[in-house]
Amino acid sequence: MPDDQPPPPLPPGLLDRLASLLGPRGLLTGAGDLAPYLADWRNLYQGRTPCLLRPGTVEELAEAVRLCAAAGLPLVPQGGNTSMVGGATPDESGRQLVVSLARLNRVRDIDPLDMTMTVEAGLVLKAAQEVAAEAGCLFPLSLGAEGTATVGGVLSTNAGGNTTVRYGNARELMLGLEVVLPDGRVWDGLRRLRKDNTGYALRHLFVGAEGTLGFITAAVLRLFPRPRETELGFCAVRDEAAALALFRRFRDRDEGAVRAFEYMSGTGVGFYARHIEGGSVPLPGHDHYVLVDLASSRPEAGLRALMEAVLEEALEAGEVLDATIGESEAQRAALWRIREEHPEAQKREGASVKNDVSVPVSRVPELIRRASEACRALIPGIRPVPFGHMGDGNIHMNLEQPEGMDGAAFLARSHDIMETVNAVVRDLGGSFSAEHGIGRLKTDMMEDWRGGAELDLMRRIKAAIDPQGLMNPGKVLPG
Amino acid sequence: MPDDQPPPPLPPGLLDRLASLLGPRGLLTGAGDLAPYLADWRNLYQGRTPCLLRPGTVEELAEAVRLCAAAGLPLVPQGGNTSMVGGATPDESGRQLVVSLARLNRVRDIDPLDMTMTVEAGLVLKAAQEVAAEAGCLFPLSLGAEGTATVGGVLSTNAGGNTTVRYGNARELMLGLEVVLPDGRVWDGLRRLRKDNTGYALRHLFVGAEGTLGFITAAVLRLFPRPRETELGFCAVRDEAAALALFRRFRDRDEGAVRAFEYMSGTGVGFYARHIEGGSVPLPGHDHYVLVDLASSRPEAGLRALMEAVLEEALEAGEVLDATIGESEAQRAALWRIREEHPEAQKREGASVKNDVSVPVSRVPELIRRASEACRALIPGIRPVPFGHMGDGNIHMNLEQPEGMDGAAFLARSHDIMETVNAVVRDLGGSFSAEHGIGRLKTDMMEDWRGGAELDLMRRIKAAIDPQGLMNPGKVLPG
């Protein structure tokens, strides 16, 4: 349906019933109010909606879902709307109602002895981190969008981020869930138990389902002791294989201490120096870098000695060419910025194509080399900018346009570039979406990558839990 | 159907087709051959079966499942047959075919750089540990039945064990699965990726489903660095709360080092001294004990200093009354035996009722105190023998018969005793099955504990994946 046609009318009386249920703060219909909820983070999609629901309690949400289910209206759950794959925005039909969980943002409970907290879906990730810190604990999930992304969103997408190598994805940080089901019933699975073998693991089905099976409304999250010591090393390494060898050295010496291990290409670090820092980065002129972040909650953990000893070994082995260690909080923040500003630096350099892929950890060097070569063969002058979570096997295998090429012409080749990268990923037993999920952007790839029995099982589960197909239609599963 | 009636005949020709598919090693029908597969580990049930299938390859299993599905025959997957809840034995009807995965026991791949191995379901858990050790790695799952239990079994039941506090349950140790579905299709989900957000988490659905959704035939398992240092402390503590306070002291000092933290009652340790060791245990005469097992893969981890420092603090605080540290491998093994022989010592003392329950970690002292009091009020002279995984909130809340009471008369009160314990568990937000699962023994409790939306979702999933209801009928879900 073209954008300029009016959306189909809602069933008579429904809007009134929703208004009386949710109150003036809970139902928005003005175009200006709706606008921020209709475009995705990357501006890939522009949707429409007749209204936005913002329930203030789980009971309000459940009742609203019952009303909409009875009317056969599709619903799009939305947290912080920071999806990289268009997972939280409505389509162009104007039929899908957006449901923001933002007002469900209470901290229901925190228990530093259990090392758990029970929080609602709309709580912003950064606020969740702060609540844990105030109780003397660590909630370790950390990612670029943490100031906007919500607990419900990161669970629905099984978000990863920088500390996954140590603490796992969102899934591993969750013990229990509360979910409003597609028919409006509430499943209370908010158990704060380490062990509970009583039937199917429903909580793991809702995590990563991207809102297609129901609304996660609250969760029991795991907490950890806060680090007492941290050390950050920034290293120029000989090549991709040397980067992996360095990871292995740290892991073998103190596996629990490696909080993050991030690879960056010389090209990407060069973009950062040019566009963000105005030329100044440490150890310039190398082709490969890693950032190794150590942390420990032990008193006198000796992380500085560990860092120096391992780097010295790796220097002697020729794996590390040069290295610097952050000497202050400010220096460490500056080093982390080199990694965190990679997307922004790439953007300023020109057009780029993003691939969030993973392979077995041992195959990361081969992934980077082969995907770079294949893309160079496809488009001469293309500039590979691989970076990311080497310790998890998750590389953002991004490609920057050749110098001087027209950006639009480059982006017109996006599909070819993604196919080229993915052919290598597939050959290495990898995944075409490591942490960003499927959303709307990658549903087309599901048949090819997850077809046969796997996709059939997913469709059966969807039909069993959401028989009307009203939950976030058009996401995850291909139409 | 009474046990002495002949089982219903198989469809004509099916046995011949299975025999020709599976060969003489793959199909057993003699009563003597079948006997070991028909009774469960605890001898709670005695089933019947027309034949036992022992496929030698995944393809053979898949074809056999297709044949049986076409004939509408129910199948009972069996690994090492060590279920504590009758989860792997057929019922009395004589209709259910037992399918042993024992011959699917190959190691397909091991990669110490990825820290993964891909093994088949029939591999015995202890063999899996040994394969990992030969590659210089640790597969940490460890439990009493490890010499018999299989990888497929421990995944299908999401087994826990002694090291869960450090490494998690079987679920957390699994990256990918291969499954033969109820219709005989094979789902190849053997991805060895740390991150893969491409649709619903099917692997988490099969783990813990106790064979009611399909046959796990192979798995990618996570490996860890082997410990370089271990220390074991055996401590008499003031009370249950002091035991938990001691756990917290260790966790706060070096969370990654606590490999196991086991509580034992003075009563249980007394049974061990009387029946297993003939009187000699260290630190006799106390009411509460803990075993704290520290391990680290760090060189020079300083675990002895850590152990001594924490115990000294806790002694000064009055939490620990006395303590001894294992000075040799032999001493450590002897201390662990006190814990491991608890079930055998209880058996020799008389009749006992077992409860595998969990609560939030902070509520364990309250669980032990309240459940013990409630049982004493129910049956004067009853002897509570709580022991187990305090660090996970998982206590085996066992009750020994009063001295001099008739064992059978005591066991006739089993239901009342379990109800009494479970009322406390429920009040504390706990679970009636922490690590043993549901099997056949606890299906009756599902409606009461997991009824409403949760059980409805489980039934829908079962119907979606196994529409004929042929996979391990009568287990997990109530009839």
**Can you give the CATH number for the domain in which B368 is found?**
3.30.70.2740
Q: Which residues of chain B make contact with A208, given a CB cutoff of 8 A?
A: 197, 199-201
Flag whether pLDDT at A4 surpasses 80: no
Full residue range of the structural domain in which residue A397 is found: 350-436
Task: Write down the pLDDT at residue B117.
Answer: 98
Nearest to B237 by CA among B340, B426, B368: B368
For residue A321, what pLDDT band results from cuts at 50, 70 and 90?
A: very high
Query: Domain check: are A293 and A358 in the same one?
Result: no
Q: Residue B197: which residues within 8 A CB-CB, separation 6 or more?
A: A157, A158, A160, A208, A431, A433, A434, A435, A436, A437, A438
Judged by a CB distance cut-off of 8 A, whether residue A92 touches chain B is no
Nearest to B323 by CA among B315, B313, B331, B332: B315
Residue A208 in contact with residue A171, Cβ under 8 Å?
Answer: yes
Angle CA B377–B380–B386, to nearest 5: 75
Distance (Å) from the C-alpha of residue A295 to the closest C-alpha of chain B? 12
Query: Domain check: are A114 and A49 in the same one?
Result: no
Q: Which residues of chain B make contact with A435, given a CB cutoff of 8 A?
A: 195, 197
Q: Which residues of chain B make contact with A111, given a CB cutoff of 8 A?
A: 360, 362
Alpha carbon distance B157, B121 (integer Å): 13
Is residue B143 classed as helix, strand or coil in its secondary structure? coil
Nearest CA in chain B to A452: B187
Cβ-defined contact of A185 to B465 (cutoff 8 Å)? no
Nearest CA in chain A to B161: A195
Query: Domain check: are B260 and B321 in the same one?
Result: yes
Alpha carbon distance A140, A55 (integer Å): 28
Percent of chain B past pLDDT 70, that is, above it, reads 99
- CA torsion angle B169 B170 B172 B178 (round to 10): -160
Residue B245 in contact with residue B235, Cβ under 8 Å?
Answer: no
Q: pLDDT (tens digit, 9 = 90+) per residue, B262-305?
A: 999 999 999 999 999 888 899 999 999 999 999 999 988 999 99
For residue B7, what pLDDT band results from cuts at 50, 70 and 90?
A: confident
Q: Does some domain include residue A425?
A: yes
**Mean pLDDT, residues B70-80 taken together:** 97
Write the residue in B198, B224, B449 that is nearest to A450 by C-beta.
Answer: B198
Distance (Å) from the C-alpha of residue B182 to the closest C-alpha of chain A? 11
Write the residue in A198, A225, A429 that is nearest to B255 by C-beta.
Answer: A225
Alpha carbon distance A287, B333 (integer Å): 52
SS3 content of chain B, % helix, strand, coil (to 5): 40, 20, 40
Cβ-defined contact of A434 to B196 (cutoff 8 Å)? yes
Query: Domain check: are B248 and B324 in the same one?
Result: yes
Please give the DSSP secondary-structure letter assigned to residue A198.
Answer: S
Q: Which residues of chain A make contact with B114, given a CB cutoff of 8 A?
A: 360-362, 393
Flag whether pLDDT at B2 surpasses 50: no
Flag whether pLDDT at A3 surpasses 90: no
Flag whether pLDDT at B3 surpasses 60: no
**Mean pLDDT, residues A207-232 taken together:** 97
Query: Domain check: are B237 and B317 in the same one?
Result: yes
Judged by a CB distance cut-off of 8 A, whether residue A244 touches chain B is yes
CATH of the domain at A139: 3.30.465.10
Q: What is the DSSP string of B241-289?
A: HHHHHHHHHHHHHHGGGEEEEEEEEHHHHHHHHHHTSTT--SSTT-SEE
ipTM above 0.90, yes or no: yes
| CB crowding A316-355: b at 16 or more within 10 Å, else e | eeebbbbbebbeeeeebebbbebbbbbbebbeebbbbbbb
Q: Which residues of chain B make contact with A189, given a CB cutoff of 8 A?
A: 454
Alpha carbon distance A245, A249 (integer Å): 6
Q: pLDDT (tens digit, 9 = 90+) per residue, B351-405?
A: 999 999 999 999 999 999 999 999 999 999 999 999 999 999 999 999 999 999 9
Q: Does some domain include residue A380?
A: yes
**Mean pLDDT, residues A255-271 taken together:** 96
Task: Write down the pLDDT at residue B4.
Answer: 60
Helix axes B58-70, B14-22, angle to 10 degrees: 170
CATH of the domain at A47: 3.30.43.10
Distance (Å) from the C-alpha of residue A188 to the closest C-alpha of chain B? 8
Query: Domain check: are A152 and A183 in the same one?
Result: yes
Nearest to A280 by CA among A324, A217, A230, A214: A324
Q: Which two tokens stand for residue B249?
A: 């002291």
Q: Which residues of chain A make contact with B461, given a CB cutoff of 8 A?
A: 200, 205, 461, 464-465
Cβ-defined contact of B205 to A201 (cutoff 8 Å)? yes
Write the residue in B114, B362, B460 that is nearest to A111 by C-beta.
Answer: B362
CA distances from A368 to A247, A320, A428, A430 (A): 16, 18, 11, 13
Q: pLDDT (tens digit, 9 = 90+) per residue, B22-74?
A: 999 999 999 999 999 999 988 899 999 999 999 999 999 999 999 999 999 99
Rg, Å, chain A Cα set: 23
Judged by a CB distance cut-off of 8 A, whether residue A39 touches chain B is no
Task: Write down the pLDDT at residue A280.
Answer: 83
| CB crowding B409-446: b at 16 or more within 10 Å, else e | ebeebeeebbebbbebbeebebbbbbbbbbbbbbbebb
Alpha carbon distance B66, B78 (integer Å): 18
Percent of chain B past pLDDT 90, that is, above it, reads 95
Q: Does some domain include residue B389?
A: yes
Rg, Å, chain B Cα set: 23
Query: Domain check: are B337 and B369 in the same one?
Result: no
Cβ-defined contact of B201 to A194 (cutoff 8 Å)? no
Interface of A with B in 365-404 (CB under 8 A): 389, 392-394
Q: pLDDT (tens digit, 9 = 90+) per residue, A283-315?
A: 999 999 999 999 999 988 999 999 999 999 999
Judged by a CB distance cut-off of 8 A, whether residue B84 touches chain A is no
Q: What is the largest CA-CA distance in chain A?
A: 76
Write the residue in B160, B192, B438 that is nearest to A198 by C-beta.
Answer: B438
Write the residue in B201, B225, B360 that is nearest to A192 by C-beta.
Answer: B360
Q: Does some domain include residue A415?
A: yes
Q: Which residues of chain B make contact with A446, given a CB cutoff of 8 A?
A: 198-199
Flag whether pLDDT at B15 surpasses 70: yes
Query: Domain check: are B233 and B208 in the same one?
Result: no
Flag whether pLDDT at A1 surpasses 50: no
Q: What is the mean pLDDT of chain A?
A: 96
Distance (Å) from the C-alpha of residue A426 to the closest C-alpha of chain B? 11
Q: Which residues pair with A260 in a beta bridge?
A: A293
Query: Domain check: are A31 and A135 in the same one?
Result: no
Residue B382 in contact with residue B375, Cβ under 8 Å?
Answer: yes
Q: Which two tokens stand for residue A342?
A: 């990679």
Query: Domain check: are B209 and B111 in the same one?
Result: yes
| Domain stop point among A33, A65, A100 | A100
**Mean pLDDT, residues B452-476 taken together:** 98
Nearest CA in chain A to B244: A113
Report residue A308 CA to chain centroid gap: 32
Judged by a CB distance cut-off of 8 A, whether residue B255 touches chain A is yes
Q: Does some domain include residue A218?
A: yes
CATH of the domain at B296: 3.30.70.2190
| CB crowding A94-130: b at 16 or more within 10 Å, else e | bbbbbbbbbbbbebeebbbebbbbbbbbbbbbbbbbe
Judged by a CB distance cut-off of 8 A, whether residue B66 touches chain A is no
Residue B257 in contact with residue B294, Cβ under 8 Å?
Answer: yes
Q: Does some domain include residue B3?
A: no
Nearest to B244 by CA among B84, B389, B100: B389
Q: Does some domain include residue A447?
A: no
Cβ-defined contact of A194 to B361 (cutoff 8 Å)? yes
Place of tokens 């993604």: A418
Alpha carbon distance A46, B56 (integer Å): 54
**Mean pLDDT, residues A394-411 taken together:** 97
Angle CA A369–A370–A374, to nearest 5: 120
**Mean pLDDT, residues A382-387 taken together:** 98
Q: Does some domain include residue A142?
A: yes
Cβ-defined contact of A160 to B195 (cutoff 8 Å)? yes
Q: Which residues of chain B make contact with A362, given a CB cutoff of 8 A?
A: 111, 113-114
| Domain stop point among A198, A225, A252 | A225
Q: Which residues of chain B make contact with A224, given a CB cutoff of 8 A?
A: 255
Judged by a CB distance cut-off of 8 A, whether residue A434 touches chain B is yes
Angle CA A35–A39–A41, to nearest 5: 125
| Domain stop point among B43, B72, B100 | B100
Nearest to B41 by CA among B83, B89, B88, B100: B83
Judged by a CB distance cut-off of 8 A, whether residue B199 touches chain A is yes
Alpha carbon distance A153, A80 (integer Å): 7
Q: pLDDT (tens digit, 9 = 90+) per residue, B109-165?
A: 999 999 999 999 999 999 999 999 999 999 999 999 999 999 999 999 999 988 999
Judged by a CB distance cut-off of 8 A, whether residue A254 touches chain B is yes
Query: Domain check: are B133 and B211 in the same one?
Result: yes
Q: Which two tokens stand for residue A202?
A: 């429903």
Query: Domain check: are A245 and A286 in the same one?
Result: yes
For residue A2, what pLDDT band results from cuts at 50, 70 and 90?
A: very low
Q: Total structural domains in chain B?
A: 4
